[in-house]
Structure 1
Amino acid sequence: MRKRLLSWLAICCLLTLPFSAPPPVAAEEQPSLSHVFEMAAAEFEVPVEVLLAIGYAETRWMDHQGQPSQLNGYGIMHLAENPTNDSLVQASRLLGIDKQVLTRDIQANIRGAAAVLRQIAKEQNQGHVPKKLADWYTVVAEYSGLSSHQTKAWYADDVYALINRGVSRVINGQEVRLKPTPVTPNRGEYGEPRDPSGQATPDYPEARWVAASSANYTAANRESDGNAINYVIIHTTQGSYNGTISWFQNPSAQVSAHYVIRSSDGQVTQMVQNKDIAWHAGNWDYNVHSVGIEHEGYVNDPAWYTDAMYRASAKLTRWLCDRYGIPKDRSHIIGHNQVPGATHTDPGPNWDWNYYMSLVNQSGGGADLVTDNATSNRFTASANWAIGTTNAQKYGADYRYAKPETISDAAWYKVNLPTSGSYDVYAWWPSGSIYNDQTPYVINTTNGSQTVHVSQRSSGGVWNHLGTFNFAAGDANRIAVSRWTTGTGYVIADAVKFVKR
């Protein structure tokens, strides 16, 4: 009797306890970030390459501890809630998880993105999920939530460029790696990119032009109406390059900057003409008398501030100072945080002002070492490499091309490096559907030859980062474009660039 009574009391006690979630997994038992991506990919039938590449493109795999981007996007996968992107709301509905959890829990955030991607894929494919990696391009474009056809295409292009190139990063002591996966995306409705530029042209010769919404800036004529341009103001986007461009195109944003610069290669897009007043400083008098430059990234993550970005930005700032007579000093080239009354902290403590100003004043860092296929005594190729001029994305006057063959007949670039050390290596090619999808770049480093495969069917007309390598000082053949590839299409040799770290 006593035994039955004790059992009954135990049951009653259990019934009166409140229900609660299982105890949290101990920190040492938490799955690695790589494993979280793999589990989400398997659960929702989304290629892990797509998940990893989107996460890297959006946040460099950093969750920012629940803090939103400029576009009100959260977490590694940038689940957003804004006028053109409701992926956060969709993820909450699909998973039955509160939005607040999705903004702060890394695993939930990645699962939420995978669920949204699968939903988009099914809507686009009559209830089915694409089986081929190439067929996720239009899904990725739609996932971006960007406001224009062109920016959606640029977003998907960037994601697939990452998949082709591969990237890795150490997060909390663990390496996260997206291995290079050669793939030529099926662009679907994005096969013929639309030009959003209208009739305007950029003021800065090295920029491309994409117009901000006229609702986001004030039309003016500052070069002749007495409102002198006295400042260059440096910003950090707190979001992605393409997302920022799209946001400035959205009339509800009520914000803009004259220029936006991409982290990976320093590409410059102008969105407001210099004569007009962009709304970027949070102080009307400074808006009237300044040019604003946005830099892709987040203030708390120094990985976004690449040498390519510093150099491209400094070159633009130097050009602006020369054109408008702005002194090249820290009283006139300022951060957003220095604007009177500013509530923003960008570009933040990770921005290297000393290095940046040395580049603006050309007093340090050295010049980019660019070798074109037409550079005298710097390029060597056999007669099998024909000269091409028709592709408008070429660097300089022409480029070389050859059919792929399993023979040793590489095109070599000779580069004179002033000092030993670490260099970022970039390649420029014109892209096209008849070009090779697995072009090998052979790089002679102090650690031996290393080969990087790229698809020259996309990412044309810009500097593409091949990687960071160590080299000895001196003049030597540093990098070759090889014809020895299993890929199909013409192999292109155009230009390469070395940037000292």
Structure 2
Amino acid sequence: MVKKKHVHLLIISWLLILFLFICTSNATVHAESPNGSRTSLQADFQKAADIYHVPVSILMSVSYNETRWESHNGQPSTSGGYGVMHLTDSDSSVDLLAKGDVLNKSASAKSSDQGTHTLAQAAKLINAPPQLLKKDTKTNILGGAALLADYQKQLTGTHSSDPEDWYGAVAKYSGSADYDTATDFADQVYKTIKEGAVRTFSSGGTVRLQAKNVKPDKTSLPHLQLPKHKHGNADEPKGVDMQNIPALYEAFSDTDGDYGNYDLANRPYDGQKIRYIIIHDSEVSYEGTINTFLQKSYVSSHYVIRSSDGQITKMVDPKDVAWHAGNWYINSHSIGIEHEGYAVEGSTWYSEPMYRASAKLVKYLAKKYDIPLDREHIIGHEEVPGLNPARQVSMHWDPAAYWNWTHYFDLLGAPFSKKRNSIGLKKSQGIVTINPNYKTNKPETSYNNQPLEPKPSNFVYLYTEPSFNAPLISDPLLHPNGSGTTALNDWGDKAVAGRSYYKVAQTKNWTAIDFGGQKAWFYNPKSMNTVPGSGILITAKKGAESIPVYGSAYPEASAYDQFGIPAVGITPIYSMPAGQIYVGEKVTGSDYYYAKLFNKPETYHVVSGQDQYYQISYNHRIAFVKKSDVLILHPFFH
């Protein structure tokens, strides 16, 4: 017979084990691969919803609108969001400055706003280390569910089983302090519940949100006390849904130059011609992108476009200089457009409504500012050069392989098959424009050393010899001692649709071009991956072994003297070997926009110089060479 004392000890032991089991179930889940088990993802949502008494439709739709149920291999978005629930940690958003102006701006992009630290809040709620929420999908979902439940309890005092009652909590989950942005996110979450959503993953498994007609109850929304801003009338093209939410423009401290998130200007009337439109993907949700530009982030863009329906938010007037390209020269001459989505999953986010709305906006802006509709002026962020060799290596690579440039230019009314660039030249026999069939072109790619599902892509691989067995070419800055790779973010061995190059050789099935100082071969039987191109042919001047290639068209040092300001140096990023030929644009002058202080336009100057430059397609990116360094060949030289 067991003594009562022993019985009590046994009961206590079993209760302790049960308690530990429940805590483990609720908080810490065994670590798994960053993407999680796709077949169990549906069950993970249901389990988290049950534990924290959140309607599973709310939890799944919030996740879908934040990330399309993608964990991004445990890597943060540009606003520091982790996992399928996009739990944010602004201290991790170190790459924001790569999209903005890094010239004499503060190196800090941190905010004390709770909306930028949801990862820490969620980790505390489920008693789990933040690092686990970053890497483990199940724990990430538990954290998101706990956060939604906490918001709902704060706003209503209870956890309703009816998804209609969760509107305020969903709006708070957006992380935005702006009424329009927060409610827009909530509206999209409920729209997704009404329409349903499904995604089948290449690694196996399908996640499905069943459609359900839910009408949100917005009575909890006023408790958030979100300010409503007076939004001016947006300067907009016809046939688009556009709202106007100004990005933050504010001094962040008493330190000169510590302000954001853009610079005042008066383009083009101040002498800064707008020559480029830069296509970005945001690496974060639509509302998350807007929210980033509304906070102290040292980054902005002129427009943001939503994936689901192509809604456009104008955030910086085109006359002003947004901090979006990571190159101050390009910033001062461009308009930036952020597209909701992630480069690695581009085809999931780059929707037809988004393409069409973006094309309408670009056509409108191109006409208004006299920007040519060609790939020398409508470029991806991945085609913007760095201002020096170190910056060239760290430049962004969006919108990447899955952006359908061919379709986009068809929508712009400037198809590559009828290519004529801004200088008005017709097709030249010696120039080829890259143009693979997007739907059937599915090269092998990888990311973070993991193979990706072959998807329709916009590029062709470049090899050192006319053979698939030859090494891929290597950009000397990216891989100085090795070959190119199949990594999606390895831009050094990929020629992208719409870019034009000089053809130097041809075999039966392979074409060679001058590319980044090398002779590069790509598979091109019967010209299946190209169309004839046009442009000015540029080579090094006679007698030069090589000439410098730059990431800007800045003026000579003496040009700054008239304003009494320090000269900005210009550093070559490459050397163009003698004998190579590149396709360029008509000559342009040199300039630099000096704007260093908050809201003091009397101190701003456009410095114009005597140096002149040609823009060229040097490798995957555009670049600049001095007129004095080059020889211009006849346009139809061959």
TM-score normalized with structure 2 length: 0.51
CA distance in 1, matches of 2:309, 2:318: 23
Say yes or no: does 1:114 pair with 2:145: yes
CA distance in 2, matches of 1:61, 1:23: 20
Please say if residues 174 and 287 of structure 2, whose CA atoms lie closer than 8 Å, have aligned partners that are also in contact: no
Say yes or no: does 1:148 pair with 2:156: no
Say which of 316, 325, 337 aligns to 2:361.
316
Q: Deviations over 1:95-126 (max 9, x none)?
A: 22111110111111001101111111222223
Deviation at 1:148, TM superposition (A): 1.5
Matched residue, 2:243: 208
Q: SS of 2:365's equivalent?
A: helix
Q: CA RMSD in A?
A: 2.6
Q: SS of 1:169's equivalent?
A: strand
Q: Deviations over 1:430-483 (max 9, x none)?
A: xxxxxxxxxxxxxxxxxxxxxxxxxxxxxxxxxxxxxxxxxxxxxxxxxxxxxx
Question: Which residues in structure 2 correspond to 1:388-427 (within 5 Å)?
Answer: none
Deviation at 1:129, TM superposition (A): 1.2
Q: SS of 1:32's equivalent?
A: helix
Say yes or no: does 1:34 pair with 2:42: yes
Q: 1:329 to 1:25 in 2, by over 3 A?
A: closer
Say which of 223, 234, 237 aligns to 2:268.
223
Say yes or no: does 1:236 pair with 2:269: no
Q: Deviations over 1:115-172 (max 9, x none)?
A: 111111222223x212321111101111221131221111111111111111111123
Matched residue, 1:79: 87
Deviation at 1:356, TM superposition (A): 1.2
Larger C-alpha radius of gyration, 1 or 2?
2
Matched residue, 1:338: 383
Say which of 53, 56, 60 aligns to 2:64.
56
Deviation at 1:194, TM superposition (A): 6.7
Question: Which residues in structure 2 correspond to 1:96-107 (within 5 Å)?
Answer: 96-107=127-138
Q: SS of 1:232's equivalent?
A: strand
Deviation at 1:198, TM superposition (A): 3.4
Matched residue, 2:218: 187
CA distance in 1, matches of 2:319, 2:162: 48
Deviation at 1:337, TM superposition (A): 1.3
CA distance in 1, matches of 2:399, 2:39: 33
Which has the higher mean CA deviation after the structures are superposed, 49-58 or 166-175? 166-175
Deviation at 1:201, TM superposition (A): 3.1
Please say if residues 203 and 273 of structure 1, whose CA atoms lie closer than 8 Å, have aligned partners that are also in contact: no
Which has the higher mean CA deviation after the structures are superposed, 304-313 or 82-91? 82-91
CA distance in 2, matches of 1:28, 1:80: 19
Say which of 296, 301, 320 aligns to 1:276.
320
Please say if residues 261 and 323 of structure 2, whose CA atoms lie closer than 8 Å, have aligned partners that are also in contact: yes
Q: Deviations over 1:168-194 (max 9, x none)?
A: 111232221111111111112547997
TM-score normalized with structure 1 length: 0.65
CA distance in 1, matches of 2:122, 2:175: 13
**Aligned-partner residue type, residue 403 of structure 2:** W
Matched residue, 1:327: 372
Deviation at 1:23, TM superposition (A): 8.6
Please say if residues 199 and 207 of structure 2, whose CA atoms lie closer than 8 Å, have aligned partners that are also in contact: yes
**Aligned-partner residue type, residue 327 of structure 2:** N
Please say if residues 45 and 118 of structure 1, whose CA atoms lie closer than 8 Å, have aligned partners that are also in contact: yes
Say which of 198, 205, 215 aligns to 1:168.
198
How many residues of Structure 1 are paired with residues of Structure 2 in the alignment?
A: 343
Identity percentage over the alignment?
Answer: 42
Question: Which residues in structure 2 correspond to 1:365-444 (within 5 Å)?
Answer: none
Matched residue, 1:349: 401
Deviation at 1:24, TM superposition (A): 7.6
Please say if residues 36 and 137 of structure 2, whose CA atoms lie closer than 8 Å, have aligned partners that are also in contact: no
Deviation at 1:269, TM superposition (A): 1.2
CA distance in 2, matches of 1:199, 1:29: 47
Unaligned runs of 5+ in 1: 1-20, 366-501
Please say if residues 177 and 226 of structure 2, whose CA atoms lie closer than 8 Å, have aligned partners that are also in contact: no
Matched residue, 2:411: 359
Q: 1:124 to 1:24 in 2, by over 3 A?
A: closer
CA distance in 1, matches of 2:300, 2:309: 22
Deviation at 1:306, TM superposition (A): 0.8
Unaligned runs of 5+ in 2: 1-27, 91-110, 250-259, 387-391, 418-638
CA distance in 1, matches of 2:29, 2:197: 36
